[in-house]
Amino acid sequence: MKTMFFTEAIDDALGQAMAADPRVIVFGEDVPLLRRNLLVRFGPERVRATPISESAFVGAGVAAAMAGLRPVVELYMVDFASVAMDALLNHAAKVESFSGGQWQAPLVVRAPCGGGYGDGGQHEQSLWGWLAHIPGLVVLVPSTPADAGGLMLAALEWDGPVVFLEHKLLSESWLEFMGSGGRTTVRYDVPAAGARGPVPREWQPVPLGEAALRKEGSDVAFVSVGVGVHRCLEAAQALEGEGITAAVLDLRTVSPLDRATFCELVARTGRLVVVDEDYERFGLSGELSAVALEAGLSFSYARVCTETTIPYARHLEDQTLPGTERIVAAARQLL
Amino acid sequence: MAPDLWSLYALMKMSRLFEETVTQLWQEGLISGEMHLGTGEEAIVAGVLDHVQEGDALALDHRATPALLMRGVDPVLILRELLGHEEGLCRGQGGHMHLFSHEHLAASSGIVGASGPAAAGFALAGQYLRPRAIAVAFFGEGAMNQGMLLEALNLAAVWRLPVLFVCKDDNWSITSDSSQLTGGNLCQRVEGLGVPYTVVDGTDVAAVWEAAGESIERIRDGHGPSFLHASCVHLEAHFLGYQLVRAARKPLQEVPRIARPLLKSFFRPGGASLRMRRQGLQEVLSALLTTHRDPRRSTANDPLIRARRALVSEPQRLRELEEDVEREIAAILSAVVEEGSG
């Protein structure tokens, strides 16, 4: 079985798409350094550096996509999407609707997200709920190398704007870049199965809006994305010693949501714990409860999310981000 | 008026030794995430900060530590903050990119260019509340391609806001060569927005002090904003542990880790023509070589070595000054580290 690291898998799938389709180009801050392996294979015309001008280069990505390219636009961190928010909120997400369905902007905005390594509240946010709130944006949050590569391919095949979020704690190269570089003295709680794993010989797209059941269970349903999925699996394992079996559902795509699979699981277990590294209020956790209620389901509910600005200090950060102990406690509360 | 080179050197030396201590703590893993130092830009910060008074405000970037130290923020509080103590400057909540001191009207941000609008707002409040007060914005030349900073320059010009915009130009936008990403000339750019500018060698503290002094006097007198363009080199490049700096320092260890996947990808079927691939490879090699030949490796560009040269004629006084600063930093470190272990 072929295995890859998380970011290696994304770049490999991206390389496959670039080899097949000359319309796919990559640009963003420091891209010639970060994607140097793609640069030496596809040349500087297709792998380009941008100035630190997010509003300009994301906005240009939207219109370049409208005019026939398939750009992959990289942001240094999803936190910096705030600087380019107009391009995403008022343009990328609106083209198809404003044109009466006659014009689309097939760009992929790729950005690292998430915390757990000590960069503080302006550099460790998740923000997928904030982005998925906007009609017209597809938002992807893979949790394994295989899904990361497959979803990148699906993102490139999608005819509208996609935000592809790459959790830094899973990414070998972002972690090296953001803090571990040259040191052996720091430890991060990296989920091994998410950081490196089996990948297909040839990449196939992972369908958008299709959740994956990572673990079967009948007493309670854990639902999450990204690193949260791995925290749920750890929590489920801890609960097994108590005779409690928890199912773990990896949504993989925040928008569109796989309502059918999600509702079926909630109906079956009757207990839902949403684990969301993004902010608690007005986000994915509330949305999932609404989806289940709209489906007429009766269930008990708890959520483990990030409730405040993420603190810089590592011990405070660990208490703030959804951790295994909090997930276990939330599950016990429902049983 | 002439600068007091002794006091400027003392400020710079304190900042340098403090950040060398931070480097050590980072290497030991006591600081977890990224670390952006101001080593190499001390002359710019000292030369400007020496003119800053009570009531003036500071809008800082992701390298805020030198400015806060030189402004008089308690170094013990800063060090505790960097180590994530709950009794740090920001109670362990902010960290090195998000340092705040309400008392000193000093706020930093890790968003490139954000110090521009922040300084404009501080200056606006100053116009109402603190006559003759100014605001200083520190940022790099990479931020000069960020819309919010250019908009803030224009806003400051049309509202005649008392802002000194200080551009610390090291020609690196994060890890990319700024000259290849920046159209035209930065000083002409700000002039086009109606903001007068001064160009200075940012490794020469006396020159910075004089240029900043003239600009700040004009700003305090109500003549609107000014732009100070000061060149420098960052001794640790963008941040600690930057891979290409490591490759330049330890090529045998680091270069193979970069080269192996690179060559594999270069020869991989599917993709561009050999000519385009060579151009791509050329770009990577040139980034490596540029870092290897980086001016930051030359002591001529170290503002401390340069400032010290003017003081060696009084060796006794210089030695005492340096020993005082060393003792001060050692005391800060032992106070904070003992707390941590206790």
Concatenated DSSP letters for B150-215?
HHHHHHHHHTT--EEEEEEE-SEETTEEGGGT--S-HHHHHHHTT--EEEEETT-HHHHHHHHHHH
**Dihedral sign from CA coordinates of A151, A153, A156, A158:** negative
- Contact B99/B67 with Cβ under 8 angstroms? no
| CB contact residues (below 8 A), chain B span 59-98, against chain A | 81, 84-86, 88, 90, 92-95, 97-98
Pairwise CB contact (< 8 Å): B146 & A53: yes
Burial class (CB in 10 A: 0-12, 13-18, 19+), A309: middle
**Which value, to the nearest 10 degrees, does the dihedral of the CA atoms of residues B64, B65, B69, B71 take?**
0
Pairwise CB contact (< 8 Å): A118 & B29: no
Please enumerate in sequence order all residues whose Cβ is within 8 A of that of B238, keeping only pairs 6 or more positions apart, or say none: B36, B172, B174, B175
Pairwise CB contact (< 8 Å): B176 & A49: yes
**Cβ-count burial A54-86 (b if 16+ within 10 Å, e if not):** bebbbbbbbbbbbeebbbbbbbbbbbbbebbbe
**A55 touching B, CB under 8 A?**
yes
| pLDDT band at B299; cut points 50, 70, 90 | confident
Half-sphere exposure of B36 (CA within 13 A, CB side): 24
Pairwise CB contact (< 8 Å): A312 & B95: yes
- CA distances from residue B334 to B22, B23, B37, B329, B330 in whole angstroms, order as listed: 13, 15, 21, 9, 6
Residue B267 identity (one-letter amino acid): F
Report the distance separating Cα B187 and Cα A176, nearest Å.
36
Residue A33 identity (one-letter amino acid): L
Q: Chain B interface, mutation test: which of A25, A52, A57, A80, most B Cβ atoms within 10 Å?
A: A52
Identify the H or E element spanning B137: strand B135-140
Per-residue pLDDT, averaged over B331-340, amounts to 87
**B202 touching A, CB under 8 A?**
no
Q: Which residues of A touch B175 (CB under 8 A)?
A: 30, 33
| Token digits of residue B38 | 């101001």
For B322, list phi and psi in degrees, rounded to 5.
-65, -40
Residue A229 has pLDDT above 90, yes or no: yes
Out of B34, B94, B174, closest to residue A52 by CB: B174
**A315 touching B, CB under 8 A?**
yes
**A205 touching B, CB under 8 A?**
no
The nearest CA of chain A is from the CA of B261 a distance in Å of: 7
Among this protein's residues, is A315 annotated catalytic? no
pLDDT tens for each residue of B176-192: 999 999 999 999 999 99
**A60 touching B, CB under 8 A?**
no
Is B334 strand, coil or helix?
Answer: helix
pLDDT tens for each residue of B201-235: 999 999 999 999 999 999 999 999 999 999 999 99
User: Whose CA is closest to B11, among B44, B58, B35?
Assistant: B44
**B154 touching A, CB under 8 A?**
no
User: Whose CA is closest to B101, among B89, B115, B110?
Assistant: B89
| CB contact residues (below 8 A), chain A span 22-41, against chain B | 29-30, 32-33, 36-41
- Contact A269/A223 with Cβ under 8 angstroms? no
Pairwise CB contact (< 8 Å): A32 & B281: no
Out of A33, A54, A178, closest to residue B33 by CB: A178
Residue B339 identity (one-letter amino acid): E
Q: What is the pLDDT of residue B292?
A: 79
Pairwise CB contact (< 8 Å): B84 & A316: yes
pLDDT tens for each residue of A63-101: 999 999 999 999 999 999 999 999 999 999 999 999 999
User: Percent of chain A scored above 90 by pLDDT?
Assistant: 98
| pLDDT band at A197; cut points 50, 70, 90 | very high
- Contact A322/A313 with Cβ under 8 angstroms? no
| Per-residue 3-state assignment (H helix, E strand, C coil) for chain A | CCEEEHHHHHHHHHHHHHHHCCCEEEEECCHHHHCHHHHHHHCCCCEEECCCCHHHHHHHHHHHHHCCCEEEEECCCHHHHHHHHHHHHHHHCCHHHHCCCCCCCCCEEEEEECCCCCCCCCCCCCCHHHHHCCCCCEEECCCCHHHHHHHHHHHHHCCCCEEEEEECCCCHHHHHHHHHCCCCCCCCCCCHHHHEEECCCCCCCCCCCCCEEEECCCCEEEEECCHHHHHHHHHHHHHHCCCCCEEEEECCEEECCCHHHHHHHHHHHCEEEEEEEEECCCCHHHHHHHHHHHCCCCCEEEEEEECCCCCCCHHHHHHHCCCHHHHHHHHHHHC
Residue A320 has pLDDT above 70, yes or no: yes
User: Whose CA is closest to B187, among B159, B219, B211?
Assistant: B211
Is B107 strand, coil or helix?
Answer: strand
Chain B: residue whose CA lies nearest to A123: B110
**A308 touching B, CB under 8 A?**
no
| pLDDT band at B342; cut points 50, 70, 90 | very low
Burial class (CB in 10 A: 0-12, 13-18, 19+), A307: exposed
pLDDT tens for each residue of B267-279: 999 999 999 999 9
Q: What is the ipTM of this complex?
A: 0.95
| pLDDT band at B340; cut points 50, 70, 90 | low
Total beta-carbon pairs less than 8 A apart between chain A and chain B = 187
Q: Which residues of B touch A309 (CB under 8 A)?
A: 93
The nearest CA of chain A is from the CA of B147 a distance in Å of: 7
The residues with which B57 forms a beta bridge, in sequence order, are B135
| CB contact residues (below 8 A), chain A span 135-194, against chain B | 176-183, 185-188
Report the distance separating Cα B62 and Cα B239, nearest Å.
10
**B336 touching A, CB under 8 A?**
no
Pairwise CB contact (< 8 Å): B97 & A123: yes
Out of A30, A43, A51, closest to residue B182 by CB: A51
* Average pLDDT taken over every residue of chain B: 95
Identify the H or E element spanning B11: helix B5-27
Per-residue pLDDT, averaged over B107-131, amounts to 97
Report the distance separating Cα B237 and Cα B230, nearest Å.
17
Place of tokens 């928890």: A246
Residue B258 has pLDDT above 70, yes or no: yes
Chain B: residue whose CA lies nearest to A311: B93
**B272 touching A, CB under 8 A?**
yes
Q: Which residues of B touch A32 (CB under 8 A)?
A: 176, 283-284, 287
**B26 touching A, CB under 8 A?**
yes
Report the distance separating Cα B143 and Cα B150, nearest Å.
9
Please enumerate in sequence order all residues whose Cβ is within 8 A of that of B249, keeping only pairs 6 or more positions apart, or say none: none
Report the distance separating Cα A140 and Cα A151, nearest Å.
7
The residues with which A221 forms a beta bridge, in sequence order, are A247, A272
Q: Which residues of B touch A185 (CB under 8 A)?
A: 27-29
The nearest CA of chain B is from the CA of A334 a distance in Å of: 32
Concatenated DSSP letters for B47-103?
HHHTT--TT-EEEE-S--HHHHHHHT--HHHHHHHHTT-TTSTTTTSS-TTS-EETT
Chain A: residue whose CA lies nearest to B112: A52
Please enumerate in sequence order all residues whose Cβ is within 8 A of that of A100, keeping only pairs 6 or more positions apart, or say none: none
The nearest CA of chain A is from the CA of B175 a distance in Å of: 6
Q: Which residues of B touch A179 (CB under 8 A)?
A: 32-34, 241
pLDDT tens for each residue of A118-177: 999 999 999 999 999 999 999 999 999 999 999 999 999 999 999 999 999 999 999 998
pTM: 0.97
Which residue among A91, A123, A167, A230 is the active-site one?
A: A123
Pairwise CB contact (< 8 Å): A38 & B26: no
Q: Which residues of B touch A114 (CB under 8 A)?
A: none
The residues with which B162 forms a beta bridge, in sequence order, are none
User: Whose CA is closest to B123, among B85, B152, B88, B166?
Assistant: B152
Place of tokens 């340092």: B99
